[in-house]
Structure 1
């Protein structure tokens, strides 16, 4: 089940993402997930940035409140718990491997980059390394695709169903 391509990214979206990140966004192909208010939450990023750098993180979390929530979970060392829960459940482990394959298939629609072949993000398919990347994938793909991303979102203080955008994030 592949999701891209995305509608063209607008200048207003890029302005919001620039504000969210505090820097210009690089290689944005589209908005993969949005806040309930319409602001970008996850951008889809080219597998090779404009400067030629390979970039495996296709789904990139930009929403400041979501990013802060994932950072708080990481600071609380939730990754080993999520990995242990995933490894203890064969069905969940299989779903995590499928999420990795789907992530690669989504990114491949925008070109193959030999330097990152087989590398997805967040530690998939065998580790839990970056909750930001896993949550971004879960938001972009929708519930039930990335079980670890879903679990991170469920444990976080941020909800994709409630706008937590700062007023200055509006385009």
Structure 2
């Protein structure tokens, strides 16, 4: 696997942009809180490190990853949100529930973004096990929450430009 020894959260090769005048909503799942809490810390760090202010970041906690869809829709009803960052973690279990949730969340978030014509960033881990989730929420592969924040900044700036 190409990511086996690599921190994927390296942004030194790209121009992220300044988030000082942007407003974000972070919608985070309470399920798998150990992981989603670490993703949330990464997302906040990513936004603040690139100029966002705490007063321009709205936090919405939802019960699980499936509820990220309606949480994002609720956030975007506020017209002053430039981008939504969704953070969740679905870990493979013994049943097909994993497949149904992952597909529903991915499609639902895409539809919310299209409906509102705003970026809805998919910061949802879909892993085979807890170790993979830990590795991607601040472990050896970086923090997907921070990556989601960088993506949100870039997409919000594109939205302002065009």
Shorter chain as normaliser: what TM range? under 0.3
| Greater share of residues in strand | 2
* Higher-RCO chain (CA-CA 8 Å, sequence separation at least 6): 2
**TM-score computed with the length of structure 1 as normaliser:** 0.26
